[in-house]
Amino acid sequence: MDAKVQSIVNQSSLTEFLLLEFSEVQELQILHFFVFLAFYLATVTGNLLIISAVVFDHHLHTPMYFFLMNLAMQDLGQVSVIIPKSMANSLMNTRHISYSGCVAQVFFFLFFVASDFSLLTVMAYDRYIAICNPLQYEMLMNKQACIQMVASVWISGFLYGVLHAGGTFASPFCSNVVNQFFCEIPQLLKLACSDLYLIEIGAVVLSAVIGLGCFIFIVITYVHIFTSVLRISSIEGRQKVFSTCLPHLIVFSIAVSTGSFIYLKPTSNTPSLLDLALSMIYSMVPPLINPIIYSMRNKEIKNAMSKLLGFRHFSLNTFSSFSLQR
């Protein structure tokens, strides 16, 4: 089928792409739909709860939770760009996505991923100032500074999405068969018919260098944070910091390593289970895990969620311990 599709594709009139189907068996397609549906609902619920908790609880109107709310918005957008279309295709037993839909997927997915990555870098800096230089925190992380940082994060994500969407679709395509469950840049570049795809290759390499710089910055920041935390005499205080920072660093590292591997390794000409698994890990796991990391181990968020959901028996803590958690 793929060979037939490739033979009839006219690069001047390409109107749609064919995404990877998980199975040719209808029952397995339905199973994939329900698995993705459960995953999507869990991710959406977790991130919406965080957004609502921060918006409606004035105790959470602080820099850390302001950043966390934006992170939840980005994670929500990231999964909403790719998962519903894959579910719809499985439910209707089809593989189609329009050309404009594919462009939109590339743009919005990279917009949210880049914004997410930039915000995690900002959040690492926020934690560094709060823990290592607490006396300067109010001055450095004031309301105006936080708004400027978040605005820069969203703007940089937008520019990143425009850059890669433009570079990816600048070249005509010789085929419309994408060996991935969403429009992923490495798989699209494999279909390019001209040397214009080298522009996007250069953009990917440049992005990898910038991303590596951010990753090194985050790792160094956490080294300083952990060093300062080890000086805290209170065991409970150390546990509070480690319980948030360590899982966050692990999830972030997994996303970066799998995403870098997918984007920098040579693409294969046939569908690969490894490529599929790695793409699912970097694109779907962090948005699900981030709410768990930042809410289940955080008393303030749990108290805000309990009030939001009407569970009054949870005790409402004051922010007297906030300086320790920062």
- The Cα 258–Cα 109 span in angstroms is 16
In whole numbers, what is the pLDDT of the chain averaged over residues? 83
The percentage of the chain sitting over the pLDDT mark of 70, rounded to a whole number, equals 86
Indicate whether 9 belongs to any domain.
no
Split into its structural domains, the chain has a count of: 1
Indicate whether 1 belongs to any domain.
no
Indicate whether 109 belongs to any domain.
yes
Tens of pLDDT, residue by residue over 210-265, are 888 888 898 899 888 888 888 776 777 677 677 667 777 777 788 788 887 877 77
- Number of alpha carbons in the 13 Å side-chain half-sphere of residue 132: 15
Q: Specify the pLDDT at position 206.
A: 85
The residue among 74, 80, 101, 130 whose CA lies nearest residue 19 is 101
CATH for 274: 1.20.1070.10
- The Cα 283–Cα 278 span in angstroms is 8
Indicate whether 2 belongs to any domain.
no
Q: Span 92-108, mean pLDDT?
A: 93
Indicate whether 43 belongs to any domain.
yes
Owning domain of residue 64 = 16-325
Q: Span 122-139, mean pLDDT?
A: 89
Q: What's the predicted TM-score (pTM) here?
A: 0.84
Indicate whether 10 belongs to any domain.
no
Indicate whether 126 belongs to any domain.
yes
pLDDT of 198 higher than 60 = yes
Q: Specify the pLDDT at position 311.
A: 61
Tens of pLDDT, residue by residue over 264-321, are 777 666 677 888 888 888 899 889 988 888 766 677 777 777 777 776 444 434 333 3
- Residue 194 has what DSSP assignment? S
The residue among 136, 64, 58 whose CA lies nearest residue 325 is 64
User: Higher pLDDT residue, 51 or 305?
Assistant: 51
Predicted confidence band of residue 101 (pLDDT cuts 50, 70, 90): very high
Indicate whether 5 belongs to any domain.
no
**Cα dist from 296 to 31, 46, 123, 302, whole Å:** 29, 10, 18, 7
